[in-house]
Amino acid sequence: MSIPYRRAPANYGLPLSMDYFKQLLDLLKAEREEDRNQYRKLTETTSIADRRANGLTWYPIAIRGSEMSRGDYVTVELERTNHHDVSHQLRSGMPALFFSNHDPRKDRVEGTIAYLSGNRLKITLLTDELPDWSRDGKLGVEMLFDDKSYDEMQDALKEANMRSENPKNRLVNILTGQASPTARTDIPLPVIPRLNDSQRQAVQHILAANELAIVHGPPGSGKTTTLVQAINALIRQDHQKILVVAPSNTAVDLLSEKLHEQGLNVLRVGNPARVSDRLMALTLDHKMADHPLMREAKKLKKQANEFKNMAHKYKRQFGKAERDQRKALFDEAHRIMKEVDNSEQYIIDDLVAKAQVITATLVGSNQYMIRNLTFHTVVIDEAGQALEPACWIPILKAQKVILAGDHCQLSPTVKSMEAARKGLSTTLLEKCVALHPEAVTLLEEQYRMHERIMGYSSRVFYQNRLRAHASVATHSLFAGDSPLGFIDTAGCGFDEKLEGTSSTNPEEAALLIKHLTDVVATLSPFYTPLDFPSVAIISPYKQQLNVLNDLLQHAPALQPYRAKLAVNTIDSFQGQERDIVYISMTRSNDQGEIGFLSDIRRMNVAMTRARKKLIIVGDSATLASHPFYADFIDYAQQLDAYQSAWEWL
């Protein structure tokens, strides 16, 4: 077998901090401009129906209630009245536009989405009362370009640049390669029975680190479990509050729940993606509602709303006496709301002071309630998917940083190809692993995959150090089943086709569905449709997914199992697992061109979703132009897992 292909770490060198942050600021500026241009293209020349289909707009909507909120603004509850099945990009914390179709250019007011759950959201409008036009025409809400997040990242980079000029600011200088991290030597290996040896070593390194510790967690290796135990141990060791952040709300939610289960006092800042009762109980809004002082604040808020409602009964065109009365009522409402704001701020300060762990997204870690706090330790989870400028927002609050993730899986999405090419897609985690290998602990045991599914990834990405736990090393769908297969379509004439900007391969897709149908027939004596193993069908190309979905709909033998089948892109499956995974490689051409299949981190994600069976369908003649795939095909042949597609035609 040929020498395994390994990505050599980039030569980051030891940049001067000022140049380091100046370059990041330039890259961030390019990304902001590209993001804004893409948003503009989506909004300026399209209809409301198109913007709704693109997930930018809810339309039509209905008002379900309104109330006064902090800073004399009004918060309106809105409900999407139809098109419930259309996916959307609206998220809490986003800037948004509330508008009427009566005169969309004039009848509009900006605000911020304060809460979102299902088909309802609350938007805090930058006005102190509902506009008169909200009673005219059909209403809608539309996301605006999120300049605020870019401003937060830009401000953080500028602040980090200033701090880097002070040699005493060790953390910034360590993270930029100007200094080396230090660690205590008197921390014993912790006794945590539920952790394996490498997980315990990771906890020990986290406890011992003075400035930086890195947990490298390959797929299925229990990174979240390790982090939760480490955070628990840190709180016992330092008796100080910890900030825990991640790039996505979903990752923050998972950590919040797991930390709460450890009996820690967790405060979730921002709105969770998963709206479960257990999670909602950890949010600031929920804890404020349960606070003993909140009853009085609610009473005052109700009183202020009553004064406002009375004021609205006086129309502006009435005489001076009515206008004076209207103004007096508004003034009294505003005075009461200032009292409410003061009460709520006291409650927030109390809840923040009592929390042992505060959890938020990277950008959310600078919300007003924790903006000026500092923490002994900041934990950044999923750091392999985090844009570096966003990481600096929480880092500036820290004396010590824990980075956890896997830089051998997908990197963050960068919209500007120029910014990505110049380094914005390279994460802080990846840089620090290269600069400070002494700070890294690799979690060496995984609890997901059969050892043959895991073997190739372990060799290429994890220096052959990853091993399968005994509970999964040989688990299979039934005794004697093969866990790995590469079905080679070379020579079959399955040429790829270009549809728009995406590739398809209908013949390869048909072969995959035929193979899956045969596998289902083989498994049917062992499983009913209800307890059938979960199946993922993955392709890097979206148009190929459309072909696969269409073929699935016309495969009668697979219909009883549709609930167990998921078809999607590699990116959407990161963090998930299935019993059986099929990968349709799609590319097949005489030139050996494989496009973005050359991003082998993406393939690492795809291959490591499988628990008990992994089947890859592809053209070896095309794929073998890249050493990663050439070596994988050799690996499959050595394990007797190679088959020609001719066997299935």
> What local confidence, expressed as pLDDT, does residue 10 receive?
41
User: What's the confidence (pLDDT) of residue 18?
Assistant: 64
Question: For the segment 82-101, what is each residue's pLDDT rounded down to a tens digit?
Answer: 898 888 889 888 899 999 98
pLDDT at site 129: 81
How crowded is the C-beta side of 524, counted as CA atoms within 13 Å? 11
Whole-angstrom Cα Rg for the chain: 28
Mean pLDDT, residues 116-143: 88
Is the pLDDT at 283 greater than 80? The verdict is yes
Answer whether residue 252 shows pLDDT above 50: yes
CA-based torsion, 266, 267, 271, 277: positive or negative: positive
**Which tokens is 170 given?**
């060790």
Distance CA 433, CA 626 (A): 25
Q: What integer pLDDT is reported at residue 91 of this predicted model?
A: 85
**Of 235, 236, 231, whose CA–CA distance to 256 is shortest?**
231
The 10 Å Cβ neighbour count of residue 376 is 15
DSSP-based three-state secondary structure for 317: coil
CB neighbours of 377 closer than 8 A, spacing ≥ 6? 234, 238, 240, 242, 243, 398, 399, 400, 401, 402
pLDDT at 8: 35
pLDDT band at 622 (very low <50, low <70, confident <90, very high): very high
pLDDT at 559: 96
pLDDT at residue 85, rounded to an integer: 83
Q: How high does pLDDT run on average in the chain?
A: 91
In this predicted model, what pLDDT tens digit does every residue of 44-77 receive, in sequence order? 888 899 999 888 999 999 999 888 777 678 899 9
pLDDT band at 318 (very low <50, low <70, confident <90, very high): low
Per-residue pLDDT, 6: 37
- Per-residue pLDDT tens for 292-307? 888 887 788 787 777 7
One-letter amino acid at 333 equals A
Task: Give tens-digit pLDDT for 386-418.
Answer: 999 999 999 999 999 999 999 999 999 999 999
Q: Mean pLDDT: which of 108-122, 572-586, 607-621 is highest?
A: 607-621
**Given a cut of 70, is residue 539 above it in pLDDT?**
yes
368 backbone dihedrals φ, ψ, rounded to 5°: -55, -35
* CA distance linking residue 607 with residue 582, whole number of Å: 9
Q: Is the pLDDT of residue 273 over 50?
A: yes
Question: Span 314-331, mean pLDDT?
Answer: 72
426: which 2 tokens? 């390279």
In the predicted model, is pLDDT for residue 326 greater than 80?
no
Closest CA to 457 of 220, 213, 199: 220
- CA distance linking residue 457 with residue 443, whole number of Å: 14
Please choose, from the candidates 6, 14, 27, 138, the residue with its C-alpha nearest in 3D space to the C-alpha of residue 415: 27
Q: State yes or no: pLDDT of 150 exceeds 80.
A: yes
For residue 513, is pLDDT > 70?
yes
Query: Is the Cα dihedral 52, 55, 61, 63 positive or negative?
Result: negative
Average pLDDT rounded to a whole number, residues 35-51 = 89
Residue count (the chain): 649
Instruction: With a cut of 60, say whether residue 4 has pLDDT above it.
Output: no
pLDDT of 312 reads: 67
Amino acid at 342: N
The confidence score (pLDDT) of residue 123 equals 94
The arithmetic mean of pLDDT across residues 214-230, rounded, is: 97
pLDDT band at 314 (very low <50, low <70, confident <90, very high): low
In terms of Cβ atoms closer than 10 Å to its own Cβ (0-12, 13-18, 19+), residue 500 is exposed
Give the mean model confidence (pLDDT) for residues 345-368.
95
User: Which two structure tokens, joined as six digits, stand for 444?
Assistant: 């060496």
Cβ neighbours of residue 163 closer than 8 Å, sequence gap 6 or more: 169, 172, 396
- pLDDT at site 300: 80
CB count in 10 Å sphere of residue 641: 20
Q: What percent of the chain has pLDDT over 90?
A: 73
Q: Which helix (H) or strand (E) holds 456?
A: helix 451-461
> pLDDT band at 572, cuts 50/70/90?
confident
Q: Given this model, what pLDDT does residue 17 score?
A: 57
| Nearest-10 crossing angle of helices 388-395, 17-44 | 120
- Identify the pLDDT of residue 15: 45
